[in-house]
Amino acid sequence: MTDMPDICVAICTCDRPNWLGDLLDGLARQETDLRFDVVVVDNGIRSARAVVLERAAAGALQITHARLRDRGLAAARNRSLSLACESGAPWIACLDDDEVPGSEWLSALHARALETGADLIFAPVQPEFETSPPRWAVAGGFFVKTGEIACSSNMMLRTAILPGDARNWYQPAFGVIGGEDREFLARLERGGAQVATAHQAVVREHIPAARLRLGYMFQRGLRDGYAEVTILRQAPGSPGSRAVAALGIAAKKFGFAHFHLAGAVMSRAHLASAVADTGTVCGIGMCLAGRSMRFYGAAGEGLPVDDDGAIAVSLDGPPPMSARPPPDASRVCVCLCTCDRLALLPALFAALEKQTLSGRLTVFVADNGRQPADAVVAACGGGALDLVYQRVREVGVSSARNAAMARAVDGGFEFLAFLDDDEVPETAWLEELLATALSERCDIVCGPVEPVFARPPPAWALAGRFFCKSGDTLCSSNLLLRTAALPRERNDWFDAEFGETGGGDREFLKRLVAGGARTAVARRAVVREHVPDARLALRYMFARGLRDGMTDVQILMRRKPSAWGVWLDASGIAVTKAGYGLNHLIWSTLRPGRLASALSDAGHVCGIVLRLFGRRVRLYGRGARPGAGGI
């Protein structure tokens, strides 16, 4: 290596060659001027060298691959840090081999480090489920990491803060248990390392179907129990004092398990938490009793190492955007509805221009805001985009959606994609949506929406995941539709009754599904939503619940033939939400996100009551209350 890189990305892998390939592809797609190298340390039974060679030959990644005989994650992490230090990079970024970074991941980490002067930068991890997750997995947020808790699955550290003696890095005692990152990073913090969180440096973690079971939650708790005892054993003190401290943790977890078990009547997420806490108690007891267990690393006694040391592979060439040829942009158009968000449009158009499609992309812009956006659209036109602007006289988001959709249908496009005007898509967004629609032969494809906060969000906003959308719920904020699945009568498209209250996308898409439309989720078709300061207030959560309650009643009014049936079903929803709200309120003293959930549920109940008595609250379009628009 002739020049020192700005960052060295350190990856530990163990028998996950396919996921490692996805990770390396994500690194090849980084949009940054920073120079970075990649280190891959492999101590699995099967060598990942072929994957590394393939990715290095296909792109512009400078990769060093090291095959390691020693088992356990701690040994692999130490070897990756050692190789990263040898590269001379002042920063080391760490990823797990089942994660895929966004295109601006490295830039966001580095920018946050320069902004804060911190030595350790942690960042969020969002789940990418292999199969549709159960409700408890989503509601409990068990597979989400906010970046507020120290762990090495998505972080960057300053090389200069590493202890001079490598024996003081990750401790081998944690090798097959896990938790070595918690112990090591806590030591660095106690030594004076400054910490910050880069909320925009998001990575997506692959969650296999095997983890979406309550049995896995018990095993995860078991692992945490072993890790707690092992951490205590590394601390100074007598064996007796450490055992007492471990029993204190077990007693606390036992109490939490009982609380969660009581709440399991209302939510299976509580049951999953109770199972995990029970596992932690069992793990602590088993570890104190001398029982050994393996949670990480290869299972064999020895590793069939086909090459010792490290190999460096680097070839010049363009980074591979995808293993498949890019689809033709003429098959799809983008429908964009905008209302008085002129400042956000240039970033959106710039991201659309970078889409990995062949040919020019058509974007229909339907504008019914007070301030016309024609000048902004005209300034952003050209390049790879054909921007078609239409001024819509009717207020409400439904009118704008129908106008854009009519343009798409008249244009003869096979697919149409919807985005909100406060969102920015990843470069492979449309490609992933189209690939899912074609491979799954479906008519409706939704994708995840991840938040980009205007300022550091409060703890409740992160803990409750209120601004994340997994793609499993039907909505138009990240959506691809097959035009052949649309109703022939345009009066049956988005209902104008929902124009100023919202929820019209839910109602319309549910009608399509009821009519036989097939759905799928494109986990990698990610868009990022701008979250303004006004939404980071608890009163916003009440307003959002208010909208959802009114939407529920409006949908019932469209489906139910009798007013009595509407009242009966709406009352059932209100009673359920009231129970949820009370449960969240009780738990709000222990978890910051629960108070926000309680307010949202209270707003939901109020919205149902108001709509049943004929009241409406305008939340979208011209004249909407400040801060409420675009809930």
User: What is residue 318's predicted lDDT score, i.e. its pLDDT?
Assistant: 32
Query: Both 66 and 89 in a single domain?
Result: yes
Residue whose C-alpha is closest to residue 276's, from 251, 256, 290, 294: 256
Number of domains in the chain: 4
pLDDT bracket for residue 320 (50, 70, 90): very low
Over residues 441-455, the pLDDT tens digits come to 899 999 999 999 888
Query: Both 404 and 346 in a single domain?
Result: yes
Q: Is residue 629 part of a domain?
A: no
Residue that finishes a domain, picked among 191, 209, 227: 209
Residue 38, strand partner residues:
9, 63
Q: Which residue has the tokens 């959308």?
A: 469
Query: Both 202 and 222 in a single domain?
Result: no
Query: Both 116 and 234 in a single domain?
Result: no
Q: Is residue 355 part of a domain?
A: yes
- Reported as type and span, the H/E element at residue 578 is helix 563-587
Question: Which residue type sits at 75?
Answer: A
Query: Both 381 and 261 in a single domain?
Result: no
Q: Between the CA atoms of 486, 488, 489 and 495, what dihedral angle is there, to the nearest 10 degrees?
A: 0
Q: DSSP secondary-structure letter at 285?
A: H
Query: Both 434 and 480 in a single domain?
Result: yes
H helices of 448-490, in order, are: 459-463
Q: Which residue has the tokens 């719920």?
A: 473
Query: Nearest 5°: phi and psi at 590?
Result: -100, -30
Residue 479, strand partner residues:
418, 446
Over residues 58-70, the pLDDT tens digits come to 766 888 988 887 7
Question: Chain centroid to CA 604: how far?
Answer: 25
Position with higher pLDDT, 320 vs 105: 105
Residue that finishes a domain, picked among 239, 274, 297: 297
pLDDT bracket for residue 527 (50, 70, 90): very high
Residue that finishes a domain, picked among 162, 192, 209: 209
Query: Both 530 and 543 in a single domain?
Result: no
Residue whose C-alpha is closest to residue 286's, from 186, 177, 151, 211: 177
Q: For residues 57 and 54, give the distance between their C-alpha atoms in angstroms, rounded to a whole number.
A: 5
* Per-position DSSP letters for 349-389, written without gaps between them: HHHHHT-S-BSPEEEEEEE-SSS--HHHHHHH-BTTEEEEE
Ramachandran category for residue 614: left, alpha or beta (phi over 0 → left; psi -120 to 50 → alpha) = left
pTM to 2 decimal places: 0.59
Residues 581, 598: contact at Cβ < 8 Å? yes
Which tokens go with 127?
A: 């789940």
pLDDT bracket for residue 315 (50, 70, 90): very low
Give the 3-state secondary structure of residue 156: strand
Q: Is residue 557 part of a domain?
A: yes
Give the 3-state secondary structure of residue 456: coil
Residue-averaged pLDDT of the chain? 85
User: What is residue 85's predicted lDDT score, i.e. its pLDDT?
Assistant: 92
Q: Is residue 311 part of a domain?
A: no
Residues 71, 175: contact at Cβ < 8 Å? yes
pLDDT bracket for residue 82 (50, 70, 90): very high
Give the 3-state secondary structure of residue 630: coil
User: What is residue 316's predicted lDDT score, i.e. its pLDDT?
Assistant: 32
Pairing between β-strand 519-521 and β-strand 444-446 as defined by DSSP bridges:
parallel
Over residues 385-440, the pLDDT tens digits come to 999 999 998 888 889 999 999 999 999 999 999 999 999 999 989 999 999 999 88
Query: Both 29 and 95 in a single domain?
Result: yes
User: What is residue 373's predicted lDDT score, i.e. its pLDDT?
Assistant: 93
Query: Both 388 and 467 in a single domain?
Result: yes
pLDDT bracket for residue 626 (50, 70, 90): very low
Query: Both 161 and 187 in a single domain?
Result: yes
* Per-position DSSP letters for 183-213, written without gaps between them: HHHHHHHHTT--EEE-TT--EEEEE-GGGSS
pLDDT bracket for residue 332 (50, 70, 90): very high
Q: Is residue 315 part of a domain?
A: no
Give the 3-state secondary structure of residue 586: helix
Query: Both 199 and 233 in a single domain?
Result: no
Residues 329, 76: contact at Cβ < 8 Å? no
Kindly tell me if the per-residue pLDDT of 92 is higher than 70.
yes
Kindly tell me if the per-residue pLDDT of 234 is higher than 60.
yes
> 453-462 b/e with 16+ CB inside 10 Å = b?
beeebeebbb
Q: For residues 191 and 30, give the distance between their C-alpha atoms in angstroms, rounded to a whole number.
A: 33
- pLDDT above 70 covers a percentage of the chain that reads 92
Domain that holds residue 513: 329-535
Q: For residues 270 and 496, give the distance between their C-alpha atoms in angstroms, rounded to a whole number.
A: 39
- pLDDT above 90 covers a percentage of the chain that reads 41
Over residues 335-368, the pLDDT tens digits come to 999 999 999 999 999 999 999 888 889 999 999 9
User: What is residue 460's predicted lDDT score, i.e. its pLDDT?
Assistant: 87
Q: Is residue 414 part of a domain?
A: yes
Position with higher pLDDT, 483 vs 57: 483
Q: Is residue 623 part of a domain?
A: no
For range 580-597, the mean pLDDT: 82
User: What is residue 61's predicted lDDT score, i.e. its pLDDT?
Assistant: 86
Query: Both 262 and 177 in a single domain?
Result: no
Question: Chain centroid to CA 503: how far?
Answer: 23
Distances (CA, A) of 544 to 507, 603, 616: 17, 7, 14
User: What is residue 620's predicted lDDT score, i.e. its pLDDT?
Assistant: 55
- Beta-carbon contacts of residue 167 (< 8 Å; ≥ 6 apart): none
Position with higher pLDDT, 425 vs 565: 425
Assign residue 370 the CATH number of its domain: 3.90.550.10
Q: For residues 599 and 601, give the distance between their C-alpha atoms in angstroms, rounded to a whole number.
A: 5
Q: Is residue 320 part of a domain?
A: no
Question: Which residue type sits at 440?
Answer: E
